[in-house]
Amino acid sequence: MKKAERKVRSSTWTIRTAWLMVSMLFITYGVNSFTCSAESLVKKTAQEAVMTPSQPLPKRMAIIIDDAGNDMKGTAEILDMPVKLTLAVMPFLSTTKKDAIAAHEKGMDVIVHMPMEPKSGRPEWLGPGAITSSLTDDEVRERVEKAIDDVPYAIGMNNHMGSKVTSDKRIMSIVLDVCRERGLFFVDSRTNFRSVVGELAVSKSMPPVGNDIFLDDRNSKPHIRQQMDLAAKRAVEKNMCVVIGHVGQTGLNTSSVVRESVTRLKGEIEFVGIGDLVREVWHWHAAPTLPTNNK
């Protein structure tokens, strides 16, 4: 009986020892494998973080310079700017082609600066080939087509003056149709807060791009500097800002403040052409439906 008891006890001990060893092995490997998978999880997360860093959106500013094409004061200084700008060139003038070609060769964007009737102002400020509210549908179409043909390398259009015409749905609808057919977008200079351009653009699946800030609505360096700072603040807050300055009467003040400001803001703001914004922000790609001579 004692012998049998000893045998049972010894086999119980053997079973217990074996069970204990199996458990220890399991715990060791179990913990190890948990540790490994936890480690690999950490490694994987770190790797993913490296592969997909949370990049802040770039703060972009597009500076459009209006009224080029008539041998205007400040044009050479604008063309010599160390960042990408957009030159809005008026059609049918003495340096239309020269300015557009020079801007294109400098890597800048070129747009047609289309003269349009204002509510008030001298007719001679309009320039040749202007769009006025008395024109027929066919005349509007013809004038827009000719203007696009006259400005080499134009990828878009904005309005020169136009406080009257940009609130006229009939005319602006034709202007936008011609732009779209020719692969151009339209930038509303926003000379009239009742402009219909934005809503028309959306209805025609075009980018509703418009001016946010006029840089030189007053011809003084402190004012232009203040407007550039306002534009930079807007670009930081909204990730983008479109501004308009001029050559001509304000030309040298504008070009000098723009140069000084872009140098100062270069690390903070990315200066882009209006075409870059239209492609990257509104994801718009030109799809011309008519042949163009504009090359």
Nearer to Zn ion, 67 or 168 (CB): 67
Contact criterion met (CB below 8 Å) for 204 and 177:
yes
Nearer to Zn ion, 249 or 256 (CB): 249
Query: Does 181 sit near Zn ion (CB under 5 A)?
Result: no
Stretch that binds Zn ion, among 26-34, 60-68, 235-243, 264-272 (CB under 5 A): 60-68
Closest residue to Zn ion using C-beta atoms: 160
Minimum CB separation of residue 90 from Zn ion in Å reads: 7
67, 168, 181, 212: residue in contact with Zn ion (rule CB under 5 A): 67
Residues 6+ apart with CB under 8 A from 120: 163
Minimum CB separation of residue 198 from Zn ion in Å reads: 19
Contact criterion met (CB below 8 Å) for 192 and 186:
no
Rg, the chain, Cα only: 33
Query: Does 168 sit near Zn ion (CB under 5 A)?
Result: no
Distance linking the first and last C-alpha atoms of the chain: 112
Minimum CB separation of residue 76 from Zn ion in Å reads: 18
Minimum CB separation of residue 87 from Zn ion in Å reads: 12
Contact criterion met (CB below 8 Å) for 84 and 62:
no
Contact criterion met (CB below 8 Å) for 151 and 112:
yes
Site for Zn ion in 139-158 (CB under 5 A): none
Nearer to Zn ion, 176 or 244 (CB): 244
60, 84, 143, 160: residue in contact with Zn ion (rule CB under 5 A): 160
DSSP label of 68: E
Minimum CB separation of residue 74 from Zn ion in Å reads: 13
Minimum CB separation of residue 57 from Zn ion in Å reads: 31
62, 65, 66, 241: residue in contact with Zn ion (rule CB under 5 A): 66
Nearer to Zn ion, 67 or 216 (CB): 67
Minimum CB separation of residue 115 from Zn ion in Å reads: 8
Query: Does 188 sit near Zn ion (CB under 5 A)?
Result: no
Which long-range contacts does 130-139 make (Cβ < 8 Å, 24+ apart)? 131/162, 131/165, 131/171, 131/175, 132/165, 133/164, 133/165, 133/168, 133/171, 135/171, 137/170, 137/174
Contact criterion met (CB below 8 Å) for 77 and 246:
no
Tokens of residue 260, six digits = 């000084």
Residues that bind Zn ion (CB under 5 A): 66-67, 160
